[in-house]
Amino acid sequence: MTRTGRMLLGAAGVAAAAGPWWLGDGPMRFLSELFLMLAMAQMWNLLAGYAGLVSMGQQVFVGLGAYCLFATSIALNVAPFWVLPVAPLFCAGVAAVVALFLFRLREAYFAIGTWVFSEVVSLLVSKSERLGGERGMGLPTAKLIDPRWLEPLTFWLSAAIAAGAIAGTYALLRSRVGLGLMTVRDNDLAAASIGVDVWRCRFVAFVLAAAGCGLAGAVSFAATLYAAPSLAFDPNWVVVMMFAVLIGGIGTLEGPIVGVVIYFALRELVTVVFNLSAGWYLVGLGLAAIGVMLFEPAGLWPLVRKRLGGDWLSVQRQPPPADTAAGATGDRTATAAYDRTGVRSP
């Protein structure tokens, strides 16, 4: 990362930390929502863009995270944010168990399998009286937090989760497992034949993505103090993740950021500026999806990146500079061809 990059990142960190003092309540709530959505989109990107796992049931972890936090917080009678770690841990555990079964399914079957699993969990929660059934449950332990700090805490947590999701995905993809993941995505047969443990790579990605979605879901519902099955396990969670990733550019770390920003910009534009009902921004969203697929199927980020130049959050491995390694140009094209994050060199 360049020095300017580091300075920008530091400035963003300071701005976020000081957020509660210079942002109003409305913008702060808005940004919290945006950050959590960004984290979830990044998780879906990790699955679909790097592990080749298209999950249409990722909302199950959003809901499970929320319910797990609510139930634990109420049972122990402690403030919800103190027991926050249980949400990602529980979701990771559930993901590790269901992966044993769901990984038997491939591609479209896997997508439907995860979706059905999510519906089953949603129906079971609706039937559970202890979890409030269809009416849902509130979060009475939230009163253990000073109400003045609830919004700022949510904001900081959301910002930290979004930053963590991006940094964590970056670190993962730069690791051995990440390299394995990308080979699996490109061709799982070839990956297996060069000794990559396909199952293990996918398993790691699935469990981490579940934990990330669970954490984001827990914070999201803790902020509203209420969770119901129809909201927590709403397929729209995965719809927005999918939209953000595919519009922004799947298989790039910047894509979900671009996609989430577009999603929220579109929503604010239609509902606030034009003052139309929420249905119309969804119509706009659908049209945007159609347009991107027809004219720019790789998503918008590769297009922007071509204009801007630079490496940004590319996980591409760079060869050593030309003066230290002979024939570096040859290596460079070789790595570029491997990297779907970059503009595929002609």
Partner 1 sequence: MIWIETIVNGVLYGGLYGLLGVGLALIVGVMRVVNLSHGEFIVLSAFIGVSLAHVLPGVHPLVLLAPVAVIAFALGFGLQAVLVNRVVTRPDPFASILLTFGVAVVMRNLMVEIFGADPRNLPAGRLAHASTTIAGLQVGVLPILILVVSIALFTLLQLLIMRTRFGRIVRATADNRDVVRLMGVNPGRVYNVVMGLALALASVAGMLLAIRSSFTPYSGVERLLVSFEVVVLGGLGTFWGAMIGGIALGVAELVGLRFDPNSGPLYAHLLFLVVVLMRPNGLFGARS
Which residue ranges make up the site for partner 1 (CB under 8 A)?
48, 54, 101, 104-109, 112-113, 115-117, 119-120, 123-124, 126-127, 235, 239, 242-243, 246, 250, 277, 279-280, 282-283, 285-290, 292-294, 297
Compute φ and ψ for 318, nearest 5 degrees. -95, 140
Q: How far is the CB of 131 from partner 1 (least distance, A)?
A: 14
Burial class of 204 by CB neighbour count within 10 A (0 to 12, 13 to 18, 19+): buried
Distance CA 138, CA 225 (A): 6
Nearer to partner 1 among residue 9 and residue 108 (C-beta): 108
Distance CA 277, CA 237 (A): 20
The string of DSSP codes covering 6-43 is HHHHHHHHHHHHTHHHHS-HHHHHHHHHHHHHHHHHHH
Q: How far is the CB of 197 from partner 1 (least distance, A)?
A: 20
- In this structure, how many other beta carbons lie within 10 angstroms of the beta carbon of residue 239? 14
Q: How far is the CB of 24 from partner 1 (least distance, A)?
A: 30
Nearer to partner 1 among residue 5 and residue 279 (C-beta): 279
* 8-state DSSP, 140: G
Nearer to partner 1 among residue 109 and residue 149 (C-beta): 109
Nearer to partner 1 among residue 106 and residue 143 (C-beta): 106
Q: How far is the CB of 109 from partner 1 (least distance, A)?
A: 6
Contact 258, 304 (CB under 8 A): yes
The string of DSSP codes covering 318-337 is PPPPTTTSTTHHHHHHHHHH
Residue 221: which H helix or E strand, with range? helix 198-224
Q: How far is the CB of 129 from partner 1 (least distance, A)?
A: 11
List, in order, residues 6 or more apart from 287 with CB less than 8 Å away.
none
Q: How far is the CB of 192 from partner 1 (least distance, A)?
A: 15
Q: How far is the CB of 107 from partner 1 (least distance, A)?
A: 7
Nearer to partner 1 among residue 164 and residue 284 (C-beta): 284
Nearer to partner 1 among residue 172 and residue 245 (C-beta): 245
Nearer to partner 1 among residue 108 and residue 325 (C-beta): 108
Q: What is the dihedral of CA 268, 217, 29, 6, to 10 degrees?
A: -90
